[in-house]
Structure 1
């Protein structure tokens, strides 16, 4: 083919790109040798010889297309569009035996469909050839010899040859993208903004804790190794163009190949990714292999909960970069708040001194990380306006931990019991305050030894003060038991006032952190009924787990403190086991099992409210729904059709339930035999079923369950802070009878 290089040594070009990448693209093109580069919206104009166009196609990590304008004319209607396109000498660019396709963008008066404008342009080219040669080239919309770009803007028609053909972001290594994949040139922009090239030059590490199909990792490797992003592509827009210089193009390919080969001889930094989804890891492995980076880029299936600094090598610095789900793309935003929070906590704990970059379509989620970003960049992920947040993981950028409620008391605050003193309290309140202090002193050593921060402090120790007082890391939850009919309402009200006056003084806390709830026998769905709409969740710890508590909105707080020994026992036994949580409530036991290394967990409940809470708890600890599912279903029906097998099961039904969504009512005394039998049907031969309930008068029907090995563990399951009320619940370990 003939070359136009000698006759037209310099040509004007336009490189298009996603919005937000223009400045980066400008600098990239200058580095590649562009002349007169000028930034505009969604692209850069530049000049250079044909070699510059080829080099841009081969080496640009940011551009979508490289366009070579052929003509710019005035265009006010479709007739002028037709004449403007037809006026070009198309036989200099397109062979009669070749094919072409039209890409149209812009607007014209009276034009309703882009397809009509593209058709008029196609007719203009066809009519040009027919008039000149008696026949015309064919149209091929998929792989044309020449792709023609036509744009009308502000009364100007620009007709260009698309030198790239397919969009340059399609490098050729992506075998499949998985859910909502990040485009390659956007990934490159993220890495450039996060200064990955600078970090790589110092031997830094690149880690992605939620790597998906591996795009950030692959682009980071190509960038670090000086590998041209276009080397894997097999089709170019200029290949069938009559001005194509094959010798020049081959020389550029040989240069790029030599630079790639040289990279294989150098020492590579650690480039590693993790994802909870086995499907994503499989896709990432395929993409890495297709990019020729096997052994250089590694991906491992791992939950965010397990993300930590690699320990197999001495690593002083690096970049943690990721594109987490952000509501528009995947998942429930309420849960994602806690996923971002977990990421921030991990960065502060594990990666001090490193850099981090988080690309998100919901910047408000980034605020949950407890880190102040040092830079923010506006970018677009397709049509989604997004932001790149970059961080220096240094103590000076740490902000208040958002895991605690905005109203939560600080750990070092003391003596905030208001203006009252012990001497100023009424006699009854003084008596109650003294009992609280006595109980706290008796528990103090035990709490410290066992690292317990949430506990029951008082449970109707004195009959005249019929309340339960629970302490949640600075908050106090007071549940008033329904007074007996023999107690006058006025007397009950007086004693309750004494309780509420005594607690701030006895515990040295501000009265606003003391929350009172009337408590009576639960029936049906009343346990789900809201008492407030504060939506205030704060984080507490139990063992390894971080759990969300809400002391204001519901009768219960989201964490049943009396089941602490059972949850911690599940944490001891769950490693490598399949765990099922029936009537899971907020899935606190599932969190303990997941943290302990359960193969997977399934958590079943009928309440959408509590399952949403469960998802928040799991996300807060870095777990996705890939291996840790929450299932909304009537347990009574679900368990009968379950076809999974589990090694560890927690069965903790309510005393009674008659939800409208249930096909039948539940009475734990009446129904426990069938519930246990159904649960044992999905328990592995060597597995353990933990059956618990809080029906104070409950009696296990042992005669109906003789086929199982049953051990009463009630005494064991009641911790020191609940021993004043030993009928708080019943607990049994049930196994298959080995006889």
Structure 2
């Protein structure tokens, strides 16, 4: 029994103390406590016990970057029964530790046979403390759960309860600089632990830069800067648990505070490191800047709105790049993060060559997607979630498949140097010298002619997907779209007047001709039957192959699927509209209604939109959109809303500068109460959307219903301009009715 004599002993007496911390940080905490004057340090789960003077306890509260709390153990009592716990707590002379008019709170952990929940245990302890003080002074202390003067900690284990006073007050991870956080905030003390494991305390001494390409509200950068500038992590905190403790010696504490202020001033004066963070969500960037301001480090740390896709190399040969990307648990869909981790790996390799890298994640499968072999990894707990910190030497020898790729490159060079090789093989060689019938040859000639006109244009515009043929010859009623090295053949349903057998023969001609013109394998040609969408027809899912692959358009990457749906995930005819949005999106709030797979959203994000919101009723398409955003390094910083667009517009109060609406012609989804018919509802749809459009904003409306007529009342209320001709690209010139598009603005 000890502790209640502390108020009478010398400030130089050795006290029993305990520091709690996140699981996995115990070893680092033990080293830190030793550097702060702790002695006889013993590690346990989620903490360390140690001895030290009152000054040591104060110094740990002020300077520990890793601890959650510094506790002052008072007594261990039997807690086999409720009465035993109550009597043991009441026997402690609480009147020697704080005044009866002080407010208090009890934190209780653990259970036993008699004490089955922590709330009940806390009530028993509270009653013991209050009854003791009432008996001694006639007053009972008040309870304050949020901002108590005194916090009592109780840990119940094997029918024994450890009773402690909390010298910290609020958890020490709360430095005082962070109020608002990003979507999945990293606690400050865990961020500090990651930096220490990554070797930052040694690196920062040589002036190396610290970069976080997915910085959120800036916690890693703030902790890194505070380490480099020798700033005490507790310097901004106004209240500690010992302030109302009777054993507190204010002079001793104030001296330590003054020392810390002097060290901060000296540390900032000699600081030469650069601290750079990027974050795609402008709203989170604003939070980060507020955190920097509160920490007094807004001139030291640079955080800007920039997506991972737009991160550029830093002018430094060495440094530390560290990141806490999404894990998958917080989003609910691991698949949406595969492309983000791949892009993060690409960014590390291309922008931070020869640097040290550190990434924390709970998902090792996602970590492997970065394409880097970790030289070390450490386990940490982010709350209850077990995570791993992966440390990388960002050098070619640590890249996955580096040796294999080198061999392949060498083999390709040998093949190119071989006198038997030719870079210009004839289409007959590629096709395996297949002899074509008359019909197939005629179709092949037409396709060849189209490609001659389109291929040069596509290469110049950096377009990997385009339409090469669209029923140019009535007897061959198909559309042929190229998706990089794959071909999609869409057969239009033949009229009833056409003999079914004849239509089948012509389709065979098409399929035979394609490999003679294009260097593709038969299994890379996908066939679908399409009818002209009109009236109340609606497309449905065809298969479940999940054969997604990447294509490029306007500098953006997209996932397409040629097997599962009639539509592939990328409407090729809307390419000009998407590129137009990309050019106009800089700094604007973008809304994409009926967003499908989010292609227009990706272009808006790539164009520098300050924020985007994409709405669709289909969870499948929203997940696809999330993957497209991640594929381009845009992560989860853009809002995806699963909702009926009409209902969402009615309830939303947000304002947007740029809106794109490309609705289906018809929908009778089970998720909707009413049938959606674009001709019938477009007037109401556009009026609701215009109410969400900023005064000087622009709304683009498009649809592919061939018999569509725009509601005349819209032209009376708004400035309406049909721009269909401006949104038809070269590969769709033959089919000017593929869609119609209007530009709507508010009247001045």
Question: 1:422 aligns to what SS in structure 2?
Answer: coil
> Residues 52-131 of structure 1 correspond to what in structure 2 (within 5 A)?
52-72=56-76, 75-85=79-89, 88=92, 93=97, 101-125=105-129
User: Where does residue 138 of structure 1 map in the other structure?
Assistant: 141
- Over residues 537-587 of structure 1, what are the superposed CA-to-partner deviations in whole Å (9 max), with x where a residue is unaligned? 322111122222111111011112233233334434444566555554334
Tell me, in whole angstroms, the C-alpha distance in 1 between the residues paired with 2:151 and 2:360.
33
Aligned with residue 484 of structure 2, among 447, 464, 473 = 473
CA contact (8 A) 2:7 2:96 kept: no
TM-score, normalization by structure 2: 0.81
Question: 1:138 aligns to what SS in structure 2?
Answer: coil
Tell me, in whole angstroms, the C-alpha distance in 1 between the residues paired with 2:491 and 2:506.
11
- Over residues 575-618 of structure 1, what are the superposed CA-to-partner deviations in whole Å (9 max), with x where a residue is unaligned? 45665555543342343233233455555555454344334434
User: Where does residue 721 of structure 1 map in the other structure?
Assistant: 731
| Aligned: 1:37 with 2:35 | no
**Count of residues in correspondence between the two structures:** 722
- Over residues 1-39 of structure 1, what are the superposed CA-to-partner deviations in whole Å (9 max), with x where a residue is unaligned? 986665984343321111121122122223323333222
Tell me, in whole angstroms, the C-alpha distance in 2 between the residues paired with 1:291 and 1:641.
38
Tell me, in whole angstroms, the C-alpha distance in 1 between the residues paired with 2:690 and 2:121.
68
CA contact (8 A) 2:170 2:241 kept: yes
CA contact (8 A) 1:129 1:135 kept: yes
> Residues 514-663 of structure 1 correspond to what in structure 2 (within 5 A)?
514-522=525-533, 527-575=538-586, 581=592, 583-598=594-609, 603=614, 605-623=616-634, 632-634=643-645, 650=660, 652-657=662-667, 661=672, 663=674
> Residues 475-514 of structure 1 correspond to what in structure 2 (within 5 A)?
475-497=486-508, 499-500=510-511, 502-504=513-515, 506-514=517-525
CA contact (8 A) 2:229 2:271 kept: no
Deviation at 1:455, TM superposition (A): 1.8
User: Where does residue 220 of structure 1 map in the other structure?
Assistant: 224
CA contact (8 A) 1:480 1:517 kept: yes
User: Where does residue 471 of structure 2 map in the other structure?
Assistant: 460
| Aligned: 1:380 with 2:381 | yes
Q: CA 1:526 to 1:333, structure 2 compared with 1: closer, same or farther past 3 Å?
A: farther
User: Where does residue 23 of structure 2 map in the other structure?
Assistant: 19
User: Where does residue 319 of structure 1 map in the other structure?
Assistant: 320
Tell me, in whole angstroms, the C-alpha distance in 2 between the residues paired with 1:701 and 1:99.
67
| Aligned: 1:423 with 2:434 | yes
Deviation at 1:696, TM superposition (A): 5.5
Q: Where does structure 1 lack aligned partners over 5 or more consecutive residues?
A: 402-410
CA contact (8 A) 1:327 1:333 kept: yes
Q: CA 1:659 to 1:728, structure 2 compared with 1: closer, same or farther past 3 Å?
A: same
Tell me, in whole angstroms, the C-alpha distance in 1 between the residues paired with 2:148 and 2:720.
73
Tell me, in whole angstroms, the C-alpha distance in 1 between the residues paired with 2:615 and 2:162.
60
User: Where does residue 283 of structure 1 map in the other structure?
Assistant: 287
Q: CA 1:39 to 1:506, structure 2 compared with 1: closer, same or farther past 3 Å?
A: farther
Tell me, in whole angstroms, the C-alpha distance in 2 between the residues paired with 1:90 and 1:678.
65
Q: Where does structure 2 lack aligned partners over 5 or more consecutive residues?
A: 403-411, 416-422
User: Where does residue 358 of structure 2 map in the other structure?
Assistant: 357
Q: CA 1:194 to 1:492, structure 2 compared with 1: closer, same or farther past 3 Å?
A: farther
CA contact (8 A) 1:634 1:662 kept: no
Question: 2:239 aligns to what SS in structure 1?
Answer: coil
Question: 2:241 aligns to what SS in structure 1?
Answer: coil
Deviation at 1:61, TM superposition (A): 0.9
Question: 1:37 aligns to what SS in structure 2?
Answer: strand
Moved more, 459-468 or 546-555: 459-468
Q: CA 1:492 to 1:56, structure 2 compared with 1: closer, same or farther past 3 Å?
A: same
Tell me, in whole angstroms, the C-alpha distance in 2 between the residues paired with 1:487 and 1:630.
45
Deviation at 1:42, TM superposition (A): 0.9
Moved more, 347-356 or 689-698: 689-698
Pairwise CA RMSD: 4.4
CA contact (8 A) 1:474 1:509 kept: yes
> Residues 169-208 of structure 1 correspond to what in structure 2 (within 5 A)?
169-177=173-181, 179-208=183-212
Tell me, in whole angstroms, the C-alpha distance in 2 between the residues paired with 1:530 and 1:648.
31
- Over residues 53-110 of structure 1, what are the superposed CA-to-partner deviations in whole Å (9 max), with x where a residue is unaligned? 2322221111112223334466533344345445556566456776655433222222
Deviation at 1:165, TM superposition (A): 2.8
Tell me, in whole angstroms, the C-alpha distance in 2 between the residues paired with 1:129 and 1:665.
70
TM-score, normalization by structure 1: 0.82
User: Where does residue 405 of structure 1 map in the other structure?
Assistant: none
Tell me, in whole angstroms, the C-alpha distance in 2 between the residues paired with 1:216 and 1:369.
20
Question: 1:387 aligns to what SS in structure 2?
Answer: strand
CA contact (8 A) 2:696 2:746 kept: no
Deviation at 1:531, TM superposition (A): 0.9
Tell me, in whole angstroms, the C-alpha distance in 1 between the residues paired with 2:742 and 2:524.
38
Tell me, in whole angstroms, the C-alpha distance in 2 between the residues paired with 1:682 and 1:164.
48
Q: CA 1:595 to 1:148, structure 2 compared with 1: closer, same or farther past 3 Å?
A: closer
